[in-house]
Structure 1
C-alpha cells in the first residue's frame, strides 16, 4: 500500500428552505462513482484546507458558501492510499447548480432524508455533527 496521505476537504453545505424555513442539506451525485456524498475534493499543493473546501463546494455545486464550525475529519483508504478529508459546516449564500462532468445532480434534503440518501456511513455521521455546532 502506498502510504502517501491524500489530503482533501469539503463541506456539509446547508441552507434554510425557501418554502418552509427548515434546514436542508445539499448532496451531490457523482456519476463516476454513482454515489451521493457531500461536496469535497483533493487539495491543491499548498492549499489551505478551508479554502480548498470552499473551492470544491463552488466547483461541484455552483454555490458560494459561508463557512462555519469545523466538523469531524474523515479518515479512510481510497485506491489503496490513506485519505484524510477535513469538513466544515457551510451555509449556501448564493449561486446556482449547473451539471458538470464531476457532479450531474444535487439534492437539497432534510437532515433525515440526507442521512438516508448518503452512500457512505461515514458521511451520515457528518449530518449528525452539523447539529452539534451552532449553525
Structure 2
C-alpha cells in the first residue's frame, strides 16, 4: 500500500530498432523547467492505472504510440519535499511525430551507449542498464 502523501507516476524506457538494423535506440526527453534529460514519465490522473499513465505520458512527451513490454524497477525518491514513486516499463515505439511543448522541448533517439551519459539522474541510467542487460528489450 502506498502512503497517501506519495506522488504516484509512471513512465517508460522507450526504445526502437536502430535505423541501421543493428541494435536499438533509446528516446530521451529534455525538460526545460529542470534542464534535464530523462525517460518520458508523469503523474497518474485520477482513476488511471500505472500502465495507462505510462502509455499516455509517452504519447504526450514524445508523440510516439508504444506497446508496453517488461516491467522495470519502480523508482522511489523525494521531489519537492514529497515522496514520489514511479513505475516503469520497457516500451517499444510504434511510430509518431514529436512536437515540442513547454514541458518537453527536445527529443533525442540515441544508442544506449550514448544515451546513458546524457541522462541527468543516476536512477535513469540504472533503468537503462536494466533494459540493456537482457538479451531483448
Which residue is 2:73 aligned to? 72
Which residue is 1:30 aligned to? 31
Q: Which moved more, 1:78-87 or 1:19-28?
A: 19-28
1:101 is displaced (CA, Å) by 1.3
Q: TM-score normalized by structure 2?
A: 0.93
Q: Which runs of 5+ in 2 are unaligned?
A: none
- Contact 2:27/2:108 (<8 A) preserved: yes
Question: SS where residue 33 of structure 1 aligns?
Answer: coil
1:112 is displaced (CA, Å) by 1.2
Which 4+ stretches in 1 moved above 2 angstroms?
A: 19-22, 131-135
Which residue is 2:123 aligned to? 122
Once the two structures are superposed, the pairs formed by residues 38-57 of structure 1 within 5 Å of their partners are: 38-57=39-58
* C-alpha separation in 2, matches of 1:17 and 1:122: 24
The aligned length equals: 133
Question: SS where residue 44 of structure 1 aligns?
Answer: coil
Q: 1:82-106, CA deviations, whole angstroms, 9 ceiling, x for partnerless residues?
A: 0000000000001011111110001
1:19 is displaced (CA, Å) by 2.8
* C-alpha separation in 2, matches of 1:97 and 1:60: 8
1:107 is displaced (CA, Å) by 0.5
1:66 is displaced (CA, Å) by 0.9
Does the alignment pair 1:107 with 2:89? no
Q: TM-score normalized by structure 1?
A: 0.94
1:39 is displaced (CA, Å) by 0.2
Q: Which moved more, 1:26-35 or 1:13-22?
A: 13-22
| Cα-Cα RMSD | 1.2
